[in-house]
Structure 1
Amino acid sequence: MTGQDHKPWNVPPGSNENPPLNSSLNSSLDSAGRAGIAGADPPHIPGLSGESAMVRELLLALSVGFTLPAPLPGGLADHDGLESIIDAAKDAGLLLADGSVVGTARHALLKGTPISRLRALQRELVDKILEHNGALGELARDLARSGLQDSRVATELEEAANNVLETDPLLARDLYAEALLAGTRELDNAAKRAQALAATGDLDAAGRIVDRLLALSEPPDLRLGVDVAAAVWAQRGMMARSADTYSWLGPDRLGSSAPLAAVAMIGSGNAAGVEELLAAGTPAGSPTLLAVALTLTQEGLRRTLGPAPQLALPELIRASDMMNASGAAVPLPESPGALAAVCALHSGEPAVADNVLKAALTAGQGGDAARPRLFLLQAWSAMQQDNADEARLAINEAAKANPWPLAPRDELLVAALEVGLARRGSEVHELVLAWDRAREAMMHVSVDLYSLLPWGELMISAARLRETPRVSHYLDGAWELLGKLGNPPLWSVPLHWAAVQAALLSESPSELAPHAAALVRASQHSHLASVLAAGGKAWVSVLASRFDAADVETAARGLAAVGMPWEGARLAGHAAAHAEERRDLVRLLACARDIHPQGASSGAGPERGEEPHQDVTGMPAPEGPRAGSVDASGLSMREREVGRLLLEGKTYREIGEAIYISPRTAEHHVARMRRRLGADSRSELLVRLRLALGEGYPPP
C-alpha cells in the first residue's frame, strides 16, 4: 500500500493487499508495554543476522504501517543503501514481493518493541501521510484500534462518521467508537453517536448516551439529542413521553425538527400543540428530499384529523416515497412508510399498505431500527387479507431484521398478530397461549394513535375469552385519546368496528349501540364506515334470526371489498348456519366460499356420498382438492378437520361456521367418523379421535 492508496471508509479493514494492523496488534502492544522499555534491544528474528540493524528498522516500519516505496521513516527514506536493505530483507525470506512483512517476523517485531517506540513511529507515519496525501483513509481505523491517541486521527475518523451517519449508521457507529479510542472527547459527538446506535436498533445504548447529554446545562447538538430521545421513547411504546421531549425543547429551538414533534404530538393526542407550533412560525426546512418527506408527513397526519381524511393517504404515500429516495436513516418517532401503511389499513386499503411497505423495506427506509416495524405492519396487512402464511413469514423476518430484541411497541404488535392469527384460525388453545403473551406485552407500552389496530384486535379476543376487564383501562385510554383529537373518523372507525364485534361476542346490546351509532354517523364521510355499519347491522340481524340472505351477502362482500375477507366469510357462514330456507343456506355458503378461498381449498366441498352443496346458480359447488382422500387413520381430510373442531368442544353449528359447511353436513361427518373408527358412543369417539389424530389432544 502506498501513501496514495489508502482505502475509502466503507472498505472493511484487512481488505488491502498489505495487511493492516490486525487484532494481534493490540495483544502484541500490550505485551510489549509490559515487557519492553525504551532503548531495549530489538527482538531476535530468525534468519536475520545481528549486525543488520537497518533491516530491522525497515521491517519494523513496514510492520507499523509504512509502505514501499513511500512513505518511510526519515532514517530509512534518506539512507543511501535503501535498495540493498530491501534486498537483504527479501533474501532473508522476511519481506514478501508485495512489500509486506512475513507474519511471524511482524508479530515478533511488534511484540518485542517498546510501546513508546511504536507510538513514535505511528505518529511519524501520520505526519508523512498527511503531509503528502492529506488523508489517512482506512489507516486511521487501524491506528485507533491499535491504541494510538492522536487528535488528527480522531478528527478524521469523526469527520468520516459524520459523512455516513444518515446513509450508513452501522459504519458511523464503528467510526465514532474508533474516534473515541483515538482521543475524541465523549461529549463532542455524543448526540451523533446516539443517533447511529438508535438507527442500528440499540435503543438502550442510545438512550444512555442522550440521558447523560440532556442532563447537561448546555449540551452540544441539543436538537439532535432530543430527536434521538424522542425516537427512543416512541419505540419503547411511550409516545406521550416522545411528545413531552419536544415540548421540553420548546418551539423556539425546534427548527427542522418541527415535523417530528408534530408526529409525536398527534400520536399522543395533542393536535392543539401542533397548531401552536405552526402558529409560532417554525421556519420551513430546506428543500431536500428528507425535509420534504418530513413536511409531507406532518401535513398528511394533520389531514387525517380534518374533514377530508381521504386526502391524507396520498400525501403520506408521497412522504414515504421521498423518504425512500433520500436514503436517510434519521431518528423518527414513526417512519413515513409505517404511517402511510397504518393510514391505508385504517382506510380499508390493506393492498395499498402492502405496496408501501414493500417499497420502504426495499429502500431500507429508516435503517435497521425501522425494519422490524415495517415487516410487522406487512404481517398485519397479510393477516387482514386472510393470508396467514404470509403474515407468519413477515413476523419471522421482523424477528431477524436486526440483532437487537424487538422494541416494546413492536412486541405488542407481534402479540396482537399472534392473537389475531389464532382467532382467525379457530385454534382455541393457541388463542389462549397467545393471549397470555399479549397480556404481558400490554404492560410495557401505553396507548397511542398509531397502535389502535392491535388494541382493537386485543379487544375482540378479550371478549371472546371473557377477559375484557384486562384491557378495559387501555381501551379507556384509546377512547380518551380519540376524544382529544375530535374523534376523527379515519382513526376511530376501525376501533368502533372492533368494539361492535366485541359486543356481539359478549352478547351485550347496550355496549354495541353507541359504536354502531358512531359507524352510522361516520358513514357520511367514510366509505369504510358505511361498509362496517352495514356489516354490523347484518350481524345483529343474523344473531336475531331475522335476516334477509341478500342483505347479508351484500354486507359480507362489502367487508371483503375493504380488505376484510375473513370477517365477510365469517358473517356469511354464520348466517348460513341460521338460515331457515335451503336456498338461503346454499347462497350464503357459496358466498362464504367465494370470499374465503382458503376455506374451499381445505375441503369445503362435499365428499363422496354426501348431498352436494349448490351455489347460487343451482350447480354443485366444486370440491376442494383431495377432499375425500383417506389417510392412514382411515379419516378423510375433511373428517380430520371436523374431528379437530369436535375435540375443541365445538357444536355442529360452530363447526359449520368455522369451515363453511351446514350443521347438518357437520353431523354427517361425525356419524361417518363413528362408523370408520368403530365408536359406539360420543365419548368413545372422542377417545378414538385423539388416538387417530395423534396431535396431543388432552383427555376431557
Structure 2
Amino acid sequence: MASYQPHAQKPVFPHPEPNHHGQARQGAEFMASQLKGENAAVRELLLALSVGFSLPGPLPSDLQRKLDANGVESLDALIQRAESSGLLTPDGTVVGPAQHALLAVAPTTKVHALQRELVNVYAANGQPLGDLARDLARAGLADPRVAAELEQAGDNALERDPGLAYQLYDEALLAGSDDKATAARRAQAAAASGDLDTATRIVDTLLVQKDPPDVRRSVDVAAAVWAQRGMLARGAEVYSWLGSSRVGASAPLAAVAMIGCGDRSGAEGIFRADAPPASPTLLAATLAQIGKGIFQSLDGNPHQGLQMLIHASDMFNAARAALPLPEMPATLAALMALHSGEPNLAETICRSAAAAGQGGDTAQPRLFLLQAWSAMMQDRLEDARLAINEASKANHWPLVPRDEFLCSALEVGLARRNGDFPELIKAWERAREAMLHTAVDLYSLLPWGELMIAAARLRENRRVAPYLQEAWDLLERLGNPPLWAVPFHWSAVQAALLNESPAELAPHAAALARAAGQSHLAAVLASAGKAWVTVLAERFHPDDVEAAARGLGGVGMPWEGARLAGHAAARAHERKDMVRLLSCARDLHPQASPGGSGTPPSPESHSAPPAETGNGIHPDGAGLSEREKEVARLVLDGKTYREIGEAIYISPRTAEHHIARMRRRLGAENRSDLMAKLRLALGPEDQSHD
C-alpha cells in the first residue's frame, strides 16, 4: 500500500462546476480558447496527462488507437508541439492553468471515463493508487477499487493518525464506499480526533439499525464518548446492551466502565479475570491487564493492581494506538497512585504517557491535568499551574466535560491552598457550573473530595450534598474498597472540621481507623484526623501532632501536614512547643506565601517571630518590615490574630504584637485609621491580591 499524506498531491482534479462567482469557469474558458489553436490530438494528450496518465507509459485506449492507426501525428510529434506551445513542461507535466482549464471544460463523463482507464492501468500493473486515489475521489469518481483502497488506507491510519483516517474514510464515501460498513470506523476516527458530536451522530445512526456491522467497535466508541462527557454510567449501559455474547475483546473495557459506576456484579458477569488475552497481540495483552488491574483495586492486593495498570500503560505507550477507551491505562494507574498517597509516582506515569502520545491528541489534556493534581498534592503549586496551562493548549478542541470538571476542581484546590479567598469564590463558581455537566463516578472522587472541602469552607454544602450522597452510594455498592474510599473519607474529615461538626466527623474517622490495617495511607490519615481533633480541642500533645504532620508529608500531602502543624503552633501554650511545631510546618511547606501567591517569600518571612528574636526587621520607605507587610496584607483581608498566625506560621500573640507595633509606627488612632494607613503604606502593588 502506498504512503498517504494528509493533503493531496498533484495532479489535482477540480470539480467541473463553476464556483459561486463563475470566475473559475471564465478563466478556464479563456485558457480553453487558447488551446483551440492546437489540434484535437494534442488537446486529447494534454487532457489525458491532466487526468493522471504519465509519459512514458500507457495512454488512453482511444488516443493509443489513433496513434497506432497513423491517422494523426506520432506521439513524439504531439509531445513536441505541446512543449513548443508552452503547455507541457519537459518532464511531461501539463502547466497548471492549462490543466485546470482542460478538466473544467471537458465533459464530466469523458473525464470520469479517462479516470477509470487510469485505474485500470494501475490495477493491471498491480500498482497501488496512493494519493491518486484521494484525488480521484475528490474529483467525483465513483469506483469500488478507489473506495476499497481508501478504506484500507483509513484502516492503516486509524489507530495512529485518526485525523487522517477520518479524511480517508470520508473520501472513500465519495468514491462509493458503503457508509454503513465504515460507520463504526469513522466514528472511532472522529472521537479520537476530538470531534465527539460527529462520533455520537454516526454511532447513534448505526446502533438503531438491525444487526449493525462492527457493533463492538461502535459500542467501544459510544462508551468512550460517554465517559469523556462525564457520564460513565451511560457507557456502562451500552456495554450491558451489547451483552457478554458479543463483547469479545472489549470485556475489560466494559469492566472499567461498569466498576466506574458501581456495577461490580455486571463487571464480573462480563469479564473473567482469569481469562487469557483475546489474542497474542500487544493490544490484547494491554486490555487484559487493564481489566485485571481495575478488579485488583477493589480487593485483594491494590498494590498489585497498580503494578498491572503501570504495565498496561507501558504496553499501550509502546503500541502507540488511539483506541476508544473509557479511561486510558495511564490515567487509571495515576488515579490509583494518587489514591495510594503516591503523587510523585502518578506524575511520572502521566509524564511518560504524555511523552509517548498515549491515547492520541485528545488524551493529552487529561494526562496534563492529572500531572497538575499530582503537583498540587506535593505542594508545587506553580508546577500545577503550568500543567493546567499545558492541558488547555494540548488539543484544539475545548476540554471535554469530564476534564473541564477536573480542571475546575484543580482551580478550587489551588485557590484554597494559596489562601486566596476571592480566587476561591471565582473558582467555586466555575466548578459549580462544571458539576452540572457531569455525573459522579469512581474515577472522579478526588475532585469531588476537593469540592466537598471547599463547600464546607464556603458554607455551600447544599450545593454538593446530592453528588456526595451518590459517591457514598457508589462506594457502598462496590463494597467500600479502601483504595478508593480512604481519600474520600479524609476529605469528609476535613470538611467536618471546617463545619465544626464532631458528629459528621465520627463515622469517617472510624472508617479510616478500620481501614488502617489494610492501608498505610488510611493509618496515616487516621492519625492525622485524631491529631486535628485534639488540636481544635486544645488538648494535643506536640509529639503526636508533629508525627501526624510529618506522616502526611510522607504520603504526598505536605501542605496538609504543614497546615496541621501551623494550627497546633497557634494554639500551643508553651513557647518551645510553638517553635517546634512552626519549624515542622516550615519544613513541610517551605514555600509558604502569606500573600497567598504560592511563590517563595523572602528569607525574612520565615524567620522566628520578631517579638521573640528581633529578626525580620528591614524597614522600607513606608517604615514596615517585610514581616509586617505580610501581616498587613492579612489584616486588610480581614483575618483574625489566629488566622494570621495559621497563614504564616506564627503565634496569635506574635501577630498581635506586629499589629500593635504597626499602629504605633503609623500613628493610627483606631482600627479604621490603621486600615487606611496600611493601604497607603503598602501601595497598590502590594494590595494587588485583594
Shared fold per TM-score greater than 0.5: yes
Residue 686 of structure 1: how far off its partner (Å): 2.4
Partner of 1:271: 264
478-487 or 664-673, larger mean C-alpha shift? 664-673
Partner of 2:684: 694
1:155 pairs with one of 148, 172, 193: 148
2:391 pairs with one of 395, 398, 405: 398
Partner of 1:602: 601
2:54 pairs with one of 54, 67, 71: 67
Matches within 5 A, 1:184-333: 184-278=177-271, 284-333=277-326
2:172 pairs with one of 179, 182, 195: 179
Contact 1:258–1:282 (CA under 8 A) maintained in structure 2: no
Contact 2:29–2:101 (CA under 8 A) maintained in structure 1: no
Partner of 2:634: 645
C-alpha separation in 1, matches of 2:650 and 2:59? 86
Partner of 2:409: 416
Residue 670 of structure 1: how far off its partner (Å): 3.6
> Aligned in 2, Cα 1:427/1:74: closer, same or farther, shift over 3 Å?
same
C-alpha separation in 2, matches of 1:32 and 1:461? 59
Partner of 1:20: 11
Partner of 2:565: 572
Q: Which amino acid aligns with 2:11?
A: P
Structure 1 unaligned residues grouped into runs of 5+: 1-5, 615-619
660-669 or 689-698, larger mean C-alpha shift? 689-698
Residue 664 of structure 1: how far off its partner (Å): 3.6
Partner of 2:576: 583
C-alpha separation in 1, matches of 2:35 and 2:238? 66
Q: Which amino acid aligns with 1:685?
A: L
Residue 107 of structure 1: how far off its partner (Å): 2.7
Matches within 5 A, 1:69-218: 69-77=56-64, 79=67, 81-218=74-211
Q: Which amino acid aligns with 2:104?
A: K
Contact 1:190–1:213 (CA under 8 A) maintained in structure 2: yes
C-alpha separation in 1, matches of 2:343 and 2:274? 37
Structure 2 unaligned residues grouped into runs of 5+: 68-72, 594-599
Residue 154 of structure 1: how far off its partner (Å): 1.1
SS in 1 for 2:610: coil
> Aligned in 2, Cα 1:674/1:152: closer, same or farther, shift over 3 Å?
farther
TM-score by length of structure 1 reads: 0.90
Contact 1:633–1:693 (CA under 8 A) maintained in structure 2: no
SS in 2 for 1:136: coil
75-84 or 346-355, larger mean C-alpha shift? 75-84
Contact 1:194–1:206 (CA under 8 A) maintained in structure 2: yes
Matches within 5 A, 1:237-636: 237-278=230-271, 284-599=277-592, 601-603=600-602, 605-606=604-605, 611=610, 628=618, 630=620
Q: Which amino acid aligns with 1:9?
A: Y
C-alpha separation in 1, matches of 2:108 and 2:96? 19
Contact 1:33–1:114 (CA under 8 A) maintained in structure 2: no
C-alpha separation in 2, matches of 1:376 and 1:609? 37
Contact 1:42–1:113 (CA under 8 A) maintained in structure 2: no
Contact 1:607–1:628 (CA under 8 A) maintained in structure 2: no
> Aligned in 2, Cα 1:84/1:510: closer, same or farther, shift over 3 Å?
same
Partner of 1:662: 651
Residue 648 of structure 1: how far off its partner (Å): 1.9
263-272 or 87-96, larger mean C-alpha shift? 87-96
Residue 649 of structure 1: how far off its partner (Å): 1.2
Residue 143 of structure 1: how far off its partner (Å): 1.5
1:8 pairs with one of 3, 8, 16: 3
The Cα offsets for residues 594-634 of structure 1, whole Å up to 9 and x where unpaired, read as 111212731364589973878xxxxx99x8xxx9584x776
Q: Which amino acid aligns with 1:13?
A: A
Residue 375 of structure 1: how far off its partner (Å): 1.2
440-449 or 270-279, larger mean C-alpha shift? 270-279
Residue 488 of structure 1: how far off its partner (Å): 0.8
- RMSD over aligned CA atoms reads 2.9
Residue 111 of structure 1: how far off its partner (Å): 2.6
> Aligned in 2, Cα 1:132/1:266: closer, same or farther, shift over 3 Å?
same
Q: Which amino acid aligns with 2:195?
A: D
Partner of 1:50: 37
Residue 204 of structure 1: how far off its partner (Å): 1.1
> Aligned in 2, Cα 1:150/1:697: closer, same or farther, shift over 3 Å?
same
Contact 1:604–1:660 (CA under 8 A) maintained in structure 2: no
C-alpha separation in 2, matches of 1:587 and 1:406? 45
> Aligned in 2, Cα 1:44/1:338: closer, same or farther, shift over 3 Å?
closer
C-alpha separation in 1, matches of 2:527 and 2:485? 17
Residue 271 of structure 1: how far off its partner (Å): 1.3
> Aligned in 2, Cα 1:279/1:321: closer, same or farther, shift over 3 Å?
closer
477-486 or 597-606, larger mean C-alpha shift? 597-606
Identity %: 60
Residue 509 of structure 1: how far off its partner (Å): 0.2
> Aligned in 2, Cα 1:46/1:685: closer, same or farther, shift over 3 Å?
farther
SS in 2 for 1:348: coil
Residue 695 of structure 1: how far off its partner (Å): 5.8
Contact 1:586–1:613 (CA under 8 A) maintained in structure 2: no
C-alpha separation in 1, matches of 2:243 and 2:488? 33
> Aligned in 2, Cα 1:676/1:29: closer, same or farther, shift over 3 Å?
farther
Partner of 2:673: 684
C-alpha separation in 2, matches of 1:498 and 1:327? 37
> Aligned in 2, Cα 1:71/1:544: closer, same or farther, shift over 3 Å?
farther
SS in 1 for 2:591: helix
Residues matched between the structures, number: 675
> Aligned in 2, Cα 1:66/1:498: closer, same or farther, shift over 3 Å?
same
TM-score by length of structure 2 reads: 0.92
Residue 403 of structure 1: how far off its partner (Å): 1.9
> Aligned in 2, Cα 1:696/1:437: closer, same or farther, shift over 3 Å?
farther
C-alpha separation in 1, matches of 2:689 and 2:625? 23
Q: Which amino acid aligns with 2:483?
A: L
C-alpha separation in 2, matches of 1:674 and 1:94? 91
Q: Which amino acid aligns with 1:20?
A: P
> Aligned in 2, Cα 1:595/1:77: closer, same or farther, shift over 3 Å?
farther
C-alpha separation in 2, matches of 1:607 and 1:563? 22
Residue 116 of structure 1: how far off its partner (Å): 2.3
C-alpha separation in 1, matches of 2:633 and 2:94? 71
SS in 2 for 1:599: coil
Residue 688 of structure 1: how far off its partner (Å): 4.1
C-alpha separation in 1, matches of 2:38 and 2:232? 72
145-154 or 157-166, larger mean C-alpha shift? 145-154
Residue 381 of structure 1: how far off its partner (Å): 0.5
SS in 2 for 1:416: helix
C-alpha separation in 1, matches of 2:435 and 2:407? 11
C-alpha separation in 2, matches of 1:673 and 1:376? 43
Partner of 1:3: none
Contact 1:605–1:613 (CA under 8 A) maintained in structure 2: no
Q: Which amino acid aligns with 1:687?
A: A
> Aligned in 2, Cα 1:234/1:73: closer, same or farther, shift over 3 Å?
same
